Every structure is written in structure tokens, then in C-alpha cells.
């Protein structure tokens, strides 16, 4: 049999540029309180969230992605035509097919880049980053655009006291490209499907075929179960990612966890025994939980504000519905 020639990829990959887009409408807790029996103090103490952004009709999943991606491409210093693949992580693109990634690739002006969507909830950015790294090292693309984007306001039950205040909208994007030294560490990822009922959509779309559904599907979760899992199990995963990268907590510059809840973030920092010198992303306060978009949005804000700088070593970890998770160490662009 003929021998297959080996792929000719780069020795390593790294993040070269980052961009974000937050919808123009800022929604304070007071708006949420119009529908639920709670208080601003309770919401802040339980989640850390003060405001979130909600998209308008023009700020579609594709439109927000294009805005964030344009910034990431410019930040990376390349042209859209050089993008070889577009990976979009989202659970709020409501067309089963075609993938929204194809629309985004076209609007950005890529040269017929490979394009596909993935559904990995709040861990989706980490999944996409890992796929992009593999493509570049394998040689199937020189530059890969990874997008996390959500319009979670479309899947929020504003009368559900447990979740109404949590979710926001937005898009974050990074360009991953070749590197002469490691810029994305080994990924520690996995799933625990036996816990899939803890975060889920209330009813499947197919229910609309059989009966008239009284309320639009929404995301629901078992808050305490998710909290315990995130705090205890995800701290272990984060430590595994550090070990896989050959680093100790003292060698970290930045910690960028999924922006689910500030209490979860604080607990993970304590469990990991991160020194005070480590900058911790707390974008959740003003952006809320944006699922797949939360890590790149937090990364973009830290760099924009100067709280983190190019070349810093950052631990990133996403976790959520599935239950799924992904953690790795990266060099910031």
C-alpha cells in the first residue's frame, strides 16, 4: 500500500490576537427585579453580577461574531484571507443547519475557510482552542479563528428566580496561529453525562411538533449541585492543567475561569491557593454569564485595561452544561 505523506504543520501554536463584542444595551439588576421576587443585594451576594448586556434585533449571533472577529484579526496583524478555518462555539444559533460559522467566514472575507459550529456549552471556547491548536500543528490550517458567542437572553426565563439574573449576551474571538515555542499547553477536558440534568433546556424543540408549548424553552439549572461540582471538581481539573503544562500556581500571571459566578471564582482561587500576584478575571460583574463567550471576553478586557499584558501566562478553564469541561494554560497575545 502507498505510504501517506506526513502533514507539514507548525511545531507549536499560540493565540495571536483577541477581540470582543458586547451588545450596546446594558441591563442592571433593577430590570431583572421587575419579574422576580429578589433584591439587588441578593443577586450581587450570590453571583457578583451587577449588570449584563442584552442584544437587540440587529445584534445577531453572526453580527456579534463578525465584530469580535474583525478585532481579533486586526490584533493578530493578519488578513481575513489568511484564516484557514473558523470554529464557532454557541448554543444559541437556532438554525440546525447550516452552521453559523459558514456565514461568519463569508462575511469576514475569508478565502473559503473551513467552517463549523460546536456545542459544548460554557466549555466550548476551550474545546475550540484545542481543535485549532491541532489543526495548526497538523498543518491543515495556518491560522484558525475561534469564536465563542451567545445570545442567552433568548433562552432566559425572566420569571425563574434561580437563573433570570445570570445570563448575558456577547461574542469573543481569538486568532490561533503558528509559533516556534509552546503557547497553548496540553488540554485537560472531559464530560460527566450522568450529571446532564443539572443544566439543561426546559423542553426540546421537537415538543413544538406534538403540542403547543406554553412557554419558550429556557435554560434551567440545579444551582447548588452545579456550584458544588464547579468548586470541588473543576479546581482539580485546573490543577491537572497546571501540572500538564509543568507549572506551579506561583508561576501563573493570570487566571481566567469561565465567568459563571463570582462565588465559584473566589472558591477556585482559594482551593488552588493562587498567590495574590495572580490577576483573576472578574468580568462576570458587568457582563454576566455569557457561556462560550465568557473566557475570550474576559481575556480581551484584561488586556484592554492593562490588568494583564502580552506574554503573560494564563490558566483558562471552562465548565458547564453536559456537564463538560476544558482547561489549559496559554500565553496571552
Q: Which residues are catalytic?
A: 122, 258, 289
C-alpha cell at 65: 461574531
- Residue 274's region, left for phi above 0, alpha for psi from -120 to 50, else beta, is beta
How many separate helices (H) and strands (E) can be counted in the chain?
11, 14
| Start-end of H helices in 77-189 | 100-108, 124-138
Rounded to an integer, what distance in angstroms lies between the CA atom of residue 234 and that of residue 245? 17
- Residue 228 has a CB neighbour count (10 Å cut-off) of 14
> What is the Cβ-side half-sphere exposure of residue 24, based on CA atoms within 13 angstroms?
7
In sequence order, what E strands does the chain have? 12-21, 25-28, 51-54, 83-89, 114-118, 143-151, 169-179, 188-191, 199-201, 219-221, 254-257, 279-280, 313-320, 324-331
Rounded to an integer, what distance in angstroms lies between the CA atom of residue 331 and that of residue 333? 6
Please classify residue 250 by burial: count the beta carbons closer than 10 Å to its beta carbon, then call 0-12 exposed, 13-18 middle and 19+ buried.
exposed
Name residue, grid cell 491560522. 143
DSSP 200-258: EESS-TTHHHHS--SS---EEE-HHHHHHIIIIIHHHHHHHHHHHHT--GGG-SEEEE-
Residues near 181 by Cβ (< 8 Å), separated by ≥ 6? 12, 14
Rounded to an integer, what distance in angstroms lies between the CA atom of residue 267 and that of residue 273? 10
Amino acid at each position: 500500500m502507498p505510504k501517506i505523506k506526513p502533514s507539514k504543520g507548525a511545531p507549536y501554536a499560540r493565540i495571536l490576537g483577541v477581540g470582543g463584542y458586547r451588545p450596546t444595551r446594558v441591563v442592571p439588576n433593577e430590570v431583572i427585579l421587575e419579574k422576580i421576587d429578589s433584591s439587588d443585594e441578593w443577586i450581587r451576594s450570590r453571583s457578583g453580577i451587577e449588570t449584563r448586556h442584552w442584544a437587540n434585533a440587529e445584534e445577531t449571533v453572526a453580527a456579534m461574531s463578525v465584530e469580535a472577529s474583525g478585532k481579533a484579526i486586526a490584533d493578530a496583524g493578519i488578513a481575513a484571507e489568511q484564516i484557514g478555518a473558523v470554529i464557532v462555539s454557541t448554543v444559541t444559533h437556532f438554525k440546525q443547519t447550516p452552521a453559523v460559522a459558514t456565514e461568519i467566514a463569508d462575511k469576514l472575507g475569508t478565502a473559503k475557510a473551513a467552517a463549523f459550529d460546536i456545542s459544548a456549552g460554557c466549555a466550548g471556547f476551550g474545546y475550540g482552542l484545542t481543535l485549532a491548536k491541532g489543526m495548526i500543528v497538523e498543518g491543515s490550517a495556518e491560522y484558525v479563528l475561534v469564536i465563542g458567542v451567545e445570545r442567552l437572553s433568548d433562552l432566559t426565563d425572566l420569571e425563574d428566580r434561580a437563573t433570570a439574573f445570570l445570563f448575558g449576551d456577547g461574542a469573543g474571538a481569538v486568532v490561533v496561529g503558528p509559533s516556534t515555542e509552546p503557547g497553548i499547553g496540553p488540554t485537560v477536558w472531559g464530560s460527566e453525562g450522568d450529571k446532564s440534568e443539572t443544566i439543561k433546556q426546559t423542553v426540546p424543540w421537537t415538543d413544538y411538533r406534538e403540542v403547543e408549548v406554553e412557554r419558550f424553552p429556557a435554560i434551567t439549572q440545579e444551582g447548588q449541585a452545579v456550584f458544588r461540582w464547579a468548586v470541588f471538581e473543576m479546581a482539580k481539573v485546573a490543577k491537572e492543567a497546571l501540572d500538564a503544562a509543568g507549572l506551579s500556581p506561583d508561576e501563573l500571571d493570570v487566571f481566567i475561569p469561565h465567568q459563571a459566578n463570582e462565588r465559584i471564582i473566589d472558591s477556585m482561587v482559594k482551593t488552588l491557593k493562587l498567590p495574590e500576584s495572580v490577576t483573576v478575571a472578574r468580568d462576570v460583574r458587568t457582563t454576566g454569564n455569557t457561556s462560550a463567550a465568557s473566557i475570550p471576553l474576559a481575556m480581551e478586557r484584561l488586556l484592554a485595561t492593562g490588568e494583564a499584558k502580552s506574554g503573560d501566562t494564563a490558566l483558562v478553564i471552562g465548565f458547564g452544561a453536559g456537564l463538560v469541561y476544558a482547561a489549559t494554560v496559554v500565553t496571552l497575545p
